[in-house]
Structure 1
Amino acid sequence: MKASRYLKLFAIQLRTSALVAVQYRYDFIVDGIISLFWTFTALAPLLVVFNQRAEIVGWSRGEALLVVGWFTLLQGVLEGAINPSLITVVEHIRKGTLDFVLLKPADAQFLVSTSKFLPWRVTNVIAALAIFVFSFREMGRAPSVAALATAALLFVTSVLILYSLWIITVSLAFYVVKIDNLTYLFTSLFDAARWPASVFPAALKIVFTYVLPLALMTTYPAQAMLGKLTPQGALLPLAGAAVFSAVARWVWTRSIRKYTSASS
Protein backbone atom coordinates (compact mmCIF):
# COMPACT_ATOMS: atom_id res chain seq x y z
CA MET A 1 0.00 0.00 0.00
CA LYS A 2 1.32 3.45 -0.95
CA ALA A 3 2.34 5.97 1.68
CA SER A 4 -0.42 8.33 0.54
CA ARG A 5 -3.04 5.69 1.34
CA TYR A 6 -1.60 5.22 4.82
CA LEU A 7 -1.71 8.96 5.38
CA LYS A 8 -5.34 8.92 4.28
CA LEU A 9 -6.10 6.07 6.69
CA PHE A 10 -4.37 7.95 9.49
CA ALA A 11 -6.42 11.07 8.74
CA ILE A 12 -9.64 9.04 8.79
CA GLN A 13 -8.79 7.45 12.15
CA LEU A 14 -7.87 10.84 13.62
CA ARG A 15 -11.07 12.43 12.30
CA THR A 16 -13.17 9.62 13.77
CA SER A 17 -11.61 10.10 17.21
CA ALA A 18 -12.17 13.86 16.95
CA LEU A 19 -15.85 13.36 16.07
CA VAL A 20 -16.31 11.05 19.05
CA ALA A 21 -14.68 13.65 21.31
CA VAL A 22 -16.95 16.39 19.96
CA GLN A 23 -20.02 14.30 20.79
CA TYR A 24 -18.96 14.36 24.43
CA ARG A 25 -17.92 18.01 24.75
CA TYR A 26 -18.35 18.11 28.52
CA ASP A 27 -16.07 15.12 29.03
CA PHE A 28 -13.59 16.66 26.59
CA ILE A 29 -13.41 19.89 28.60
CA VAL A 30 -13.27 18.18 32.00
CA ASP A 31 -10.57 15.73 30.88
CA GLY A 32 -8.57 18.60 29.42
CA ILE A 33 -8.75 20.58 32.67
CA ILE A 34 -7.73 17.52 34.71
CA SER A 35 -4.82 16.92 32.34
CA LEU A 36 -3.61 20.51 32.80
CA PHE A 37 -3.96 20.15 36.58
CA TRP A 38 -1.79 17.04 36.71
CA THR A 39 0.70 18.60 34.32
CA PHE A 40 1.31 21.59 36.54
CA THR A 41 1.30 19.58 39.78
CA ALA A 42 4.10 17.55 38.19
CA LEU A 43 6.19 20.72 38.34
CA ALA A 44 5.98 20.78 42.14
CA PRO A 45 8.95 18.45 42.92
CA LEU A 46 11.21 20.44 40.61
CA LEU A 47 10.16 23.78 42.08
CA VAL A 48 10.66 22.47 45.62
CA VAL A 49 14.20 21.32 44.80
CA PHE A 50 15.15 24.61 43.15
CA ASN A 51 13.73 26.52 46.08
CA GLN A 52 16.65 25.12 48.07
CA ARG A 53 19.44 25.61 45.52
CA ALA A 54 20.26 27.59 42.38
CA GLU A 55 21.16 24.61 40.22
CA ILE A 56 21.31 20.81 40.17
CA VAL A 57 24.36 19.08 38.66
CA GLY A 58 24.88 21.93 36.21
CA TRP A 59 21.21 22.54 35.39
CA SER A 60 19.60 25.84 36.35
CA ARG A 61 15.87 25.96 37.05
CA GLY A 62 15.11 27.38 33.61
CA GLU A 63 17.15 24.66 31.91
CA ALA A 64 15.60 21.87 33.98
CA LEU A 65 12.14 23.20 33.11
CA LEU A 66 12.90 22.46 29.47
CA VAL A 67 13.29 18.78 30.39
CA VAL A 68 9.91 18.92 32.15
CA GLY A 69 8.46 20.54 29.04
CA TRP A 70 9.68 17.69 26.87
CA PHE A 71 8.37 15.16 29.38
CA THR A 72 4.96 16.89 29.30
CA LEU A 73 4.93 16.92 25.50
CA LEU A 74 5.81 13.23 25.20
CA GLN A 75 3.38 12.29 27.95
CA GLY A 76 0.67 13.85 25.80
CA VAL A 77 1.82 11.76 22.83
CA LEU A 78 1.90 8.61 24.96
CA GLU A 79 -1.48 9.08 26.63
CA GLY A 80 -3.20 10.74 23.68
CA ALA A 81 -2.00 8.70 20.70
CA ILE A 82 0.12 5.66 21.56
CA ASN A 83 -1.45 4.18 24.68
CA PRO A 84 -5.17 4.33 23.66
CA SER A 85 -4.54 2.49 20.40
CA LEU A 86 -2.17 -0.17 21.67
CA ILE A 87 -4.15 -0.97 24.81
CA THR A 88 -7.00 -1.83 22.42
CA VAL A 89 -4.71 -4.49 20.93
CA VAL A 90 -4.47 -6.20 24.31
CA GLU A 91 -8.27 -6.37 24.49
CA HIS A 92 -8.42 -7.86 20.98
CA ILE A 93 -5.87 -10.50 21.98
CA ARG A 94 -7.78 -11.37 25.16
CA LYS A 95 -11.05 -11.76 23.27
CA GLY A 96 -9.51 -13.42 20.22
CA THR A 97 -10.95 -10.73 17.94
CA LEU A 98 -7.73 -9.44 16.39
CA ASP A 99 -8.78 -11.20 13.17
CA PHE A 100 -10.86 -8.14 12.29
CA VAL A 101 -7.62 -6.19 12.05
CA LEU A 102 -5.41 -8.87 10.51
CA LEU A 103 -7.82 -9.50 7.63
CA LYS A 104 -7.84 -5.87 6.50
CA PRO A 105 -5.73 -4.98 3.42
CA ALA A 106 -3.24 -2.85 5.34
CA ASP A 107 -0.32 -3.35 7.67
CA ALA A 108 -1.67 -4.67 10.99
CA GLN A 109 0.85 -2.76 13.10
CA PHE A 110 -0.17 0.50 11.44
CA LEU A 111 -3.88 -0.19 11.93
CA VAL A 112 -3.60 -1.07 15.61
CA SER A 113 -1.32 1.91 16.22
CA THR A 114 -3.82 4.41 14.82
CA SER A 115 -7.11 2.91 15.96
CA LYS A 116 -7.88 5.41 18.73
CA PHE A 117 -6.82 8.89 19.79
CA LEU A 118 -7.71 11.13 22.74
CA PRO A 119 -7.82 14.65 21.23
CA TRP A 120 -8.14 16.36 24.63
CA ARG A 121 -4.53 15.39 25.30
CA VAL A 122 -3.61 18.33 23.09
CA THR A 123 -3.65 20.19 26.40
CA ASN A 124 -0.27 18.58 27.09
CA VAL A 125 1.09 20.20 23.94
CA ILE A 126 -0.23 23.59 25.05
CA ALA A 127 1.22 23.11 28.53
CA ALA A 128 4.59 22.03 27.11
CA LEU A 129 4.79 25.10 24.88
CA ALA A 130 3.91 27.31 27.87
CA ILE A 131 6.70 25.68 29.90
CA PHE A 132 9.18 26.23 27.04
CA VAL A 133 8.27 29.91 26.80
CA PHE A 134 8.46 30.40 30.56
CA SER A 135 11.79 28.59 30.70
CA PHE A 136 13.47 30.78 28.09
CA ARG A 137 11.98 33.93 29.59
CA GLU A 138 13.50 32.97 32.93
CA MET A 139 16.87 32.41 31.26
CA GLY A 140 16.54 35.76 29.49
CA ARG A 141 17.21 34.48 26.00
CA ALA A 142 15.65 32.71 23.04
CA PRO A 143 16.67 29.50 21.26
CA SER A 144 18.42 29.78 17.90
CA VAL A 145 16.84 28.58 14.67
CA ALA A 146 19.41 25.78 14.45
CA ALA A 147 18.63 24.71 18.02
CA LEU A 148 14.90 24.61 17.28
CA ALA A 149 15.48 22.63 14.08
CA THR A 150 17.59 20.08 15.94
CA ALA A 151 15.00 19.86 18.72
CA ALA A 152 12.24 19.30 16.14
CA LEU A 153 14.24 16.42 14.65
CA LEU A 154 14.80 14.94 18.10
CA PHE A 155 11.07 15.20 18.79
CA VAL A 156 10.54 12.77 15.91
CA THR A 157 13.21 10.41 17.25
CA SER A 158 11.74 10.66 20.76
CA VAL A 159 8.27 9.71 19.52
CA LEU A 160 9.72 6.79 17.55
CA ILE A 161 11.61 5.50 20.59
CA LEU A 162 8.58 5.90 22.87
CA TYR A 163 6.31 4.18 20.34
CA SER A 164 8.81 1.35 19.83
CA LEU A 165 9.12 0.70 23.55
CA TRP A 166 5.34 0.56 23.85
CA ILE A 167 5.04 -1.81 20.86
CA ILE A 168 7.58 -4.13 22.48
CA THR A 169 5.68 -4.01 25.78
CA VAL A 170 2.28 -4.64 24.20
CA SER A 171 3.65 -7.46 22.03
CA LEU A 172 4.20 -9.44 25.23
CA ALA A 173 0.40 -9.82 25.38
CA PHE A 174 0.70 -12.44 22.64
CA TYR A 175 2.61 -14.59 25.15
CA VAL A 176 1.18 -13.44 28.50
CA VAL A 177 -2.30 -12.04 27.96
CA LYS A 178 -2.47 -10.03 31.19
CA ILE A 179 0.22 -7.34 31.02
CA ASP A 180 -1.51 -4.60 33.02
CA ASN A 181 1.21 -4.55 35.67
CA LEU A 182 3.90 -4.31 33.01
CA THR A 183 2.28 -1.34 31.28
CA TYR A 184 1.83 0.33 34.66
CA LEU A 185 5.51 -0.28 35.41
CA PHE A 186 6.49 1.28 32.10
CA THR A 187 4.43 4.43 32.68
CA SER A 188 5.83 4.67 36.22
CA LEU A 189 9.41 4.42 34.95
CA PHE A 190 8.63 7.02 32.31
CA ASP A 191 8.03 9.51 35.13
CA ALA A 192 11.80 9.56 35.66
CA ALA A 193 12.12 11.29 32.28
CA ARG A 194 11.03 14.58 33.87
CA TRP A 195 14.48 14.91 35.46
CA PRO A 196 17.77 15.65 33.65
CA ALA A 197 19.70 12.42 33.16
CA SER A 198 22.72 13.76 35.06
CA VAL A 199 20.82 13.76 38.38
CA PHE A 200 20.87 9.95 38.43
CA PRO A 201 23.76 7.72 39.58
CA ALA A 202 26.17 6.59 36.85
CA ALA A 203 24.63 3.12 36.52
CA LEU A 204 21.08 4.47 36.15
CA LYS A 205 22.29 7.10 33.71
CA ILE A 206 23.63 4.33 31.47
CA VAL A 207 20.33 2.43 31.75
CA PHE A 208 18.29 5.55 30.96
CA THR A 209 20.47 6.26 27.92
CA TYR A 210 20.97 2.87 26.28
CA VAL A 211 18.49 0.34 27.75
CA LEU A 212 15.39 2.36 28.60
CA PRO A 213 16.44 5.54 26.77
CA LEU A 214 14.50 8.15 28.73
CA ALA A 215 17.44 10.55 28.43
CA LEU A 216 17.30 10.41 24.63
CA MET A 217 13.64 11.44 24.77
CA THR A 218 13.80 14.43 27.13
CA THR A 219 17.31 15.42 28.24
CA TYR A 220 18.86 15.38 24.76
CA PRO A 221 16.09 17.46 23.13
CA ALA A 222 16.35 19.94 26.02
CA GLN A 223 20.10 20.19 25.46
CA ALA A 224 19.43 20.73 21.75
CA MET A 225 17.13 23.67 22.51
CA LEU A 226 19.83 25.12 24.75
CA GLY A 227 22.40 24.76 21.98
CA LYS A 228 24.49 22.46 24.17
CA LEU A 229 24.11 19.26 22.14
CA THR A 230 27.05 18.47 19.88
CA PRO A 231 26.54 16.97 16.38
CA GLN A 232 27.97 13.72 17.73
CA GLY A 233 25.52 13.83 20.62
CA ALA A 234 22.61 14.31 18.20
CA LEU A 235 23.57 11.08 16.43
CA LEU A 236 22.78 9.00 19.52
CA PRO A 237 18.99 9.71 19.50
CA LEU A 238 18.95 9.12 15.73
CA ALA A 239 20.70 5.78 16.15
CA GLY A 240 18.47 4.91 19.10
CA ALA A 241 15.32 5.60 17.09
CA ALA A 242 16.56 3.44 14.22
CA VAL A 243 17.57 0.54 16.47
CA PHE A 244 14.46 0.55 18.65
CA SER A 245 12.16 0.89 15.62
CA ALA A 246 13.81 -2.12 13.98
CA VAL A 247 13.64 -4.17 17.19
CA ALA A 248 9.99 -3.22 17.73
CA ARG A 249 9.08 -4.29 14.19
CA TRP A 250 10.92 -7.58 14.62
CA VAL A 251 9.25 -8.27 17.98
CA TRP A 252 5.80 -7.43 16.58
CA THR A 253 6.11 -9.66 13.48
CA ARG A 254 7.35 -12.58 15.56
CA SER A 255 4.79 -12.10 18.34
CA ILE A 256 1.81 -11.89 16.02
CA ARG A 257 2.52 -15.44 14.86
CA LYS A 258 1.57 -16.59 18.36
CA TYR A 259 -1.92 -15.13 18.05
CA THR A 260 -4.86 -17.51 18.38
CA SER A 261 -8.30 -16.24 17.40
CA ALA A 262 -11.56 -17.07 19.15
CA SER A 263 -12.52 -19.31 16.25
CA SER A 264 -9.27 -21.29 16.26
Structure 2
Amino acid sequence: MRTVNVIRAQLRASLSLAVQYRLDFVVEGLLAILWMAVTLVPLLVVFQARQQIVGWTFPEMLLVLGWFVGLKGLLEGAVSPSLMNVIEHVRKGTLDFVLLKPVDAQLLVSLAKIEPWRSIDLFGAAAIFLYAFRQLGRWPSSTDLLLAAAMLGTAVVVMYSIAILVVSIAFFAVRVDNLLYLFQSIFDVARWPSSIFRGTLAIVFTYVLPLALMTTYPALALLGKLTLPTTVGALVGTALFAAFARAIWRVSIARYTSASS
Protein backbone atom coordinates (compact mmCIF):
# COMPACT_ATOMS: atom_id res chain seq x y z
CA MET A 1 0.00 0.00 0.00
CA ARG A 2 2.85 2.38 0.78
CA THR A 3 4.32 1.78 -2.67
CA VAL A 4 0.95 2.48 -4.31
CA ASN A 5 0.58 5.73 -2.35
CA VAL A 6 4.07 6.88 -3.30
CA ILE A 7 3.44 6.05 -6.96
CA ARG A 8 0.13 7.93 -6.88
CA ALA A 9 1.79 10.97 -5.33
CA GLN A 10 4.62 10.83 -7.86
CA LEU A 11 2.22 10.69 -10.80
CA ARG A 12 0.12 13.51 -9.36
CA ALA A 13 3.20 15.69 -8.95
CA SER A 14 4.37 14.94 -12.49
CA LEU A 15 0.99 15.77 -14.00
CA SER A 16 0.63 18.94 -11.92
CA LEU A 17 4.02 20.15 -13.09
CA ALA A 18 3.17 19.40 -16.72
CA VAL A 19 -0.16 21.26 -16.77
CA GLN A 20 1.25 24.36 -15.05
CA TYR A 21 2.47 25.56 -18.42
CA ARG A 22 -0.84 25.53 -20.27
CA LEU A 23 0.41 27.24 -23.40
CA ASP A 24 3.18 24.66 -23.73
CA PHE A 25 0.57 21.96 -23.16
CA VAL A 26 -1.56 23.23 -26.07
CA VAL A 27 1.39 23.83 -28.41
CA GLU A 28 2.93 20.43 -27.73
CA GLY A 29 -0.45 18.79 -28.24
CA LEU A 30 -0.84 20.47 -31.64
CA LEU A 31 2.69 19.43 -32.59
CA ALA A 32 1.86 15.84 -31.64
CA ILE A 33 -1.15 15.91 -34.00
CA LEU A 34 1.02 17.35 -36.78
CA TRP A 35 3.64 14.65 -36.17
CA MET A 36 1.01 11.92 -36.56
CA ALA A 37 -0.11 13.40 -39.88
CA VAL A 38 3.47 13.56 -41.15
CA THR A 39 4.03 9.94 -40.06
CA LEU A 40 1.41 8.80 -42.57
CA VAL A 41 3.09 10.51 -45.54
CA PRO A 42 5.81 7.89 -46.33
CA LEU A 43 3.20 5.13 -46.27
CA LEU A 44 0.87 7.01 -48.61
CA VAL A 45 3.72 7.72 -51.02
CA VAL A 46 4.89 4.09 -51.12
CA PHE A 47 1.42 2.66 -51.72
CA GLN A 48 0.65 5.03 -54.57
CA ALA A 49 2.76 2.83 -56.84
CA ARG A 50 1.93 -0.67 -55.54
CA GLN A 51 -0.73 -2.73 -53.80
CA GLN A 52 1.54 -4.68 -51.45
CA ILE A 53 4.98 -4.44 -49.86
CA VAL A 54 6.60 -7.75 -48.90
CA GLY A 55 3.15 -9.28 -48.49
CA TRP A 56 1.66 -6.40 -46.49
CA THR A 57 -1.33 -4.47 -47.86
CA PHE A 58 -1.96 -0.82 -47.03
CA PRO A 59 -4.53 -1.52 -44.26
CA GLU A 60 -2.25 -4.17 -42.73
CA MET A 61 0.67 -1.76 -42.81
CA LEU A 62 -1.52 0.79 -41.04
CA LEU A 63 -1.77 -1.61 -38.10
CA VAL A 64 2.02 -1.61 -37.78
CA LEU A 65 1.97 2.18 -37.98
CA GLY A 66 -0.73 2.35 -35.32
CA TRP A 67 1.41 0.41 -32.87
CA PHE A 68 4.37 2.59 -33.77
CA VAL A 69 2.44 5.81 -33.10
CA GLY A 70 1.13 4.56 -29.76
CA LEU A 71 4.48 3.26 -28.53
CA LYS A 72 6.31 6.36 -29.75
CA GLY A 73 3.92 8.46 -27.67
CA LEU A 74 4.60 6.28 -24.64
CA LEU A 75 8.36 6.42 -25.22
CA GLU A 76 8.53 10.19 -25.56
CA GLY A 77 5.73 10.96 -23.12
CA ALA A 78 6.75 8.81 -20.16
CA VAL A 79 9.82 6.62 -20.58
CA SER A 80 12.38 9.06 -21.98
CA PRO A 81 11.48 12.16 -19.89
CA SER A 82 11.62 10.18 -16.65
CA LEU A 83 14.87 8.40 -17.42
CA MET A 84 16.53 11.59 -18.66
CA ASN A 85 16.01 12.83 -15.10
CA VAL A 86 18.13 9.92 -13.87
CA ILE A 87 21.00 11.00 -16.11
CA GLU A 88 20.70 14.53 -14.73
CA HIS A 89 20.65 13.25 -11.13
CA VAL A 90 23.77 11.15 -11.74
CA ARG A 91 25.54 14.08 -13.36
CA LYS A 92 24.76 16.39 -10.43
CA GLY A 93 25.25 13.72 -7.77
CA THR A 94 21.72 14.16 -6.42
CA LEU A 95 20.39 10.65 -7.01
CA ASP A 96 20.88 9.91 -3.29
CA PHE A 97 17.62 11.75 -2.56
CA VAL A 98 15.79 9.23 -4.74
CA LEU A 99 17.61 6.20 -3.35
CA LEU A 100 16.73 7.15 0.24
CA LYS A 101 12.99 6.96 -0.40
CA PRO A 102 11.23 3.79 0.85
CA VAL A 103 10.30 2.60 -2.65
CA ASP A 104 12.19 0.69 -5.31
CA ALA A 105 14.44 3.26 -7.00
CA GLN A 106 13.84 1.94 -10.52
CA LEU A 107 10.09 2.25 -10.11
CA LEU A 108 10.40 5.73 -8.66
CA VAL A 109 12.66 7.16 -11.36
CA SER A 110 10.47 5.62 -14.06
CA LEU A 111 7.57 7.85 -12.97
CA ALA A 112 9.54 11.01 -12.29
CA LYS A 113 8.32 13.02 -15.27
CA ILE A 114 5.36 12.63 -17.61
CA GLU A 115 4.39 14.70 -20.64
CA PRO A 116 0.60 14.17 -20.79
CA TRP A 117 0.10 15.81 -24.19
CA ARG A 118 1.72 12.75 -25.75
CA SER A 119 -1.45 10.85 -24.80
CA ILE A 120 -2.81 12.33 -28.03
CA ASP A 121 -0.66 9.74 -29.79
CA LEU A 122 -2.65 6.97 -28.09
CA PHE A 123 -5.91 8.38 -29.44
CA GLY A 124 -4.26 8.75 -32.85
CA ALA A 125 -3.18 5.11 -32.74
CA ALA A 126 -6.74 4.04 -31.91
CA ALA A 127 -8.06 6.06 -34.87
CA ILE A 128 -5.53 4.41 -37.19
CA PHE A 129 -6.60 0.95 -35.97
CA LEU A 130 -10.28 1.72 -36.57
CA TYR A 131 -9.61 3.01 -40.08
CA ALA A 132 -7.37 0.04 -40.91
CA PHE A 133 -9.96 -2.54 -39.89
CA ARG A 134 -12.69 -0.71 -41.78
CA GLN A 135 -10.49 -0.93 -44.86
CA LEU A 136 -9.90 -4.63 -44.20
CA GLY A 137 -13.64 -5.19 -43.91
CA ARG A 138 -13.41 -7.22 -40.73
CA TRP A 139 -12.61 -6.89 -37.03
CA PRO A 140 -10.19 -8.87 -34.85
CA SER A 141 -11.51 -11.78 -32.82
CA SER A 142 -11.33 -11.87 -29.03
CA THR A 143 -8.36 -14.26 -29.30
CA ASP A 144 -6.58 -11.84 -31.62
CA LEU A 145 -7.19 -9.00 -29.18
CA LEU A 146 -5.82 -11.01 -26.26
CA LEU A 147 -2.69 -11.94 -28.20
CA ALA A 148 -2.27 -8.33 -29.31
CA ALA A 149 -2.57 -7.19 -25.69
CA ALA A 150 0.11 -9.71 -24.69
CA MET A 151 2.37 -8.50 -27.49
CA LEU A 152 1.73 -4.89 -26.47
CA GLY A 153 2.88 -5.83 -22.98
CA THR A 154 6.08 -7.36 -24.34
CA ALA A 155 6.65 -4.31 -26.55
CA VAL A 156 6.37 -1.90 -23.61
CA VAL A 157 8.63 -4.04 -21.43
CA VAL A 158 11.30 -4.37 -24.13
CA MET A 159 11.19 -0.66 -24.96
CA TYR A 160 11.47 0.25 -21.28
CA SER A 161 14.27 -2.29 -20.71
CA ILE A 162 16.32 -0.86 -23.57
CA ALA A 163 15.91 2.61 -22.08
CA ILE A 164 16.96 1.30 -18.65
CA LEU A 165 20.09 -0.26 -20.17
CA VAL A 166 20.98 3.01 -21.87
CA VAL A 167 20.45 4.99 -18.66
CA SER A 168 22.49 2.47 -16.65
CA ILE A 169 25.49 3.45 -18.75
CA ALA A 170 25.22 6.91 -17.15
CA PHE A 171 26.59 5.45 -13.92
CA PHE A 172 29.81 4.59 -15.77
CA ALA A 173 29.99 7.29 -18.46
CA VAL A 174 28.00 10.33 -17.36
CA ARG A 175 27.20 11.89 -20.71
CA VAL A 176 24.87 9.41 -22.38
CA ASP A 177 22.05 11.79 -23.37
CA ASN A 178 22.82 11.19 -27.02
CA LEU A 179 22.40 7.42 -26.62
CA LEU A 180 18.81 7.87 -25.46
CA TYR A 181 18.13 10.23 -28.35
CA LEU A 182 19.79 7.73 -30.69
CA PHE A 183 17.43 5.01 -29.50
CA GLN A 184 14.46 7.31 -30.13
CA SER A 185 15.73 7.89 -33.67
CA ILE A 186 16.35 4.21 -34.34
CA PHE A 187 12.86 3.45 -33.05
CA ASP A 188 11.51 5.20 -36.16
CA VAL A 189 12.46 2.05 -38.08
CA ALA A 190 9.62 0.30 -36.22
CA ARG A 191 7.06 2.03 -38.43
CA TRP A 192 7.82 -0.63 -41.06
CA PRO A 193 7.20 -4.41 -40.81
CA SER A 194 10.29 -6.41 -39.89
CA SER A 195 9.99 -8.49 -43.08
CA ILE A 196 11.15 -5.46 -45.07
CA PHE A 197 14.65 -5.91 -43.72
CA ARG A 198 17.04 -8.58 -44.97
CA GLY A 199 20.35 -10.07 -43.87
CA THR A 200 22.16 -8.36 -41.01
CA LEU A 201 19.48 -5.71 -40.51
CA ALA A 202 16.82 -8.40 -40.09
CA ILE A 203 18.91 -10.07 -37.36
CA VAL A 204 19.64 -6.77 -35.61
CA PHE A 205 16.02 -5.56 -35.59
CA THR A 206 14.67 -8.95 -34.51
CA TYR A 207 17.15 -10.17 -31.90
CA VAL A 208 19.63 -7.41 -30.94
CA LEU A 209 17.29 -4.39 -30.95
CA PRO A 210 13.93 -6.20 -31.21
CA LEU A 211 11.87 -3.57 -33.00
CA ALA A 212 9.99 -6.39 -34.76
CA LEU A 213 8.63 -7.50 -31.40
CA MET A 214 7.41 -3.98 -30.65
CA THR A 215 5.24 -3.27 -33.70
CA THR A 216 5.21 -6.14 -36.20
CA TYR A 217 4.24 -8.88 -33.76
CA PRO A 218 1.30 -6.94 -32.26
CA ALA A 219 0.09 -6.17 -35.80
CA LEU A 220 0.33 -9.84 -36.77
CA ALA A 221 -1.61 -10.71 -33.61
CA LEU A 222 -4.46 -8.38 -34.60
CA LEU A 223 -4.49 -9.97 -38.06
CA GLY A 224 -4.63 -13.48 -36.58
CA LYS A 225 -1.30 -14.36 -38.19
CA LEU A 226 0.91 -14.65 -35.12
CA THR A 227 2.01 -18.25 -34.60
CA LEU A 228 2.18 -19.97 -31.22
CA PRO A 229 5.97 -20.57 -31.34
CA THR A 230 6.54 -16.89 -32.14
CA THR A 231 4.26 -15.85 -29.27
CA VAL A 232 5.98 -18.10 -26.75
CA GLY A 233 9.41 -17.03 -27.99
CA ALA A 234 8.46 -13.36 -27.65
CA LEU A 235 7.17 -13.82 -24.09
CA VAL A 236 10.19 -15.82 -22.94
CA GLY A 237 12.64 -13.51 -24.68
CA THR A 238 10.99 -10.46 -23.13
CA ALA A 239 11.17 -11.95 -19.63
CA LEU A 240 14.87 -12.72 -20.05
CA PHE A 241 15.60 -9.30 -21.52
CA ALA A 242 13.77 -7.53 -18.68
CA ALA A 243 15.64 -9.61 -16.08
CA PHE A 244 18.93 -8.70 -17.75
CA ALA A 245 18.07 -4.97 -17.75
CA ARG A 246 17.05 -5.19 -14.09
CA ALA A 247 20.33 -6.89 -13.18
CA ILE A 248 22.37 -4.22 -14.98
CA TRP A 249 20.38 -1.50 -13.21
CA ARG A 250 21.09 -3.05 -9.79
CA VAL A 251 24.80 -3.30 -10.58
CA SER A 252 24.81 0.35 -11.67
CA ILE A 253 22.98 1.50 -8.54
CA ALA A 254 25.37 -0.50 -6.34
CA ARG A 255 28.33 1.16 -8.06
CA TYR A 256 26.81 4.62 -7.55
CA THR A 257 26.02 3.94 -3.88
CA SER A 258 29.52 2.64 -3.26
CA ALA A 259 31.13 5.64 -4.95
CA SER A 260 29.01 8.21 -3.09
CA SER A 261 29.40 6.68 0.38
* Band the TM-score falls in, shorter-chain normalisation: over 0.9
Match of 2:111 in 1: 114
- Per-residue deviation, 1:16: 1.8
* SS of the residue 1:9 aligns to: helix
Q: Where does 1:32-181 land on structure 2 (aligned, <5 Å)?
A: 32-181=29-178
Q: Conserved in 1, the CA contact under 8 Å of 2:84 and 2:177?
A: no
Deviation at 1:110, TM superposition (A): 1.0
**What amino acid sits opposite 2:110 in the alignment?**
S
In the alignment, the residues of structure 2 paired with residue 209 and residue 41 of structure 1 have an alpha-carbon distance, to the nearest angstrom, of 26
Is 1:17 the counterpart of 2:14 in the alignment? yes
User: Which whole-Å CA distance do the structure 1 matches of 2:252 and 2:118 have between them?
Assistant: 30
Structure 1: distance between partners of 2:83 and 2:9: 18
Aligned alpha-carbon RMSD (Å):
1.6
Q: Which residue of 2 aligns with 1:259?
A: 256
Contact 1:10–1:114 (Cα < 8 Å) also in 2: yes
Choose 9-18 or 103-112, whichever is displaced more.
9-18
Identity fraction in percent: 56
- Using structure 1 for the length normalisation, give the TM-score: 0.94
Given that residues 51 and 57 in structure 2 are in contact (C-alpha distance below 8 angstroms), is that contact kept between their aligned partners in structure 1?
A: yes
- SS for the counterpart of 1:42 is helix
Q: For the residues of structure 2 that align with 1:144 and 1:87, how far apart are their CA atoms? A: 39
Aligned to 1:5: 2
Answer yes or no: is the 8 Å Cα contact 2:51–2:58 preserved in 1. Answer: yes
Q: CA deviation at 1:257?
A: 2.4
Deviations 1:133-167 (A, max 9, x none): 11111111111111111111111111111000000
CA deviation digits over 1:103-130, x for unaligned, max 9? 1111111111111111111101000001
Q: Which amino acid aligns with 2:195?
A: S
Residue 234 (structure 2) aligns with: 237
Counterpart Cα distance in 2 of 1:180 and 1:116: 16
The 3-state SS of whatever aligns with 2:47 is helix
Q: Which secondary structure state, in structure 2, belongs to the residue aligned with residue 218 of structure 1?
A: helix
Give, as a single letter, the amino acid of the residue that structure 2 aligns with 1:169.
V
Query: Which has the higher mean CA deviation after the structures are superposed, 186-195 or 6-15?
Result: 6-15
Could you tell me which runs of 5 or more consecutive residues in structure 2 were left unpaired when the two chains were aligned. none
Aligned length: 261
Tell me which of 192, 202, 206 is aligned to 2:203.
206
The separation in 2 between residues aligned to 1:263 and 1:215, in whole angstroms, is: 40
Determine if contact 2:61/2:192 at 8 Å carries over to the other structure.
Answer: yes
Letter in 2 for 1:211: V
Counterpart pick for 1:218 among 215, 221, 229: 215
TM-score, normalised to structure 2, is: 0.95
Q: 1:111 to 1:61 in 2, by over 3 A?
A: same
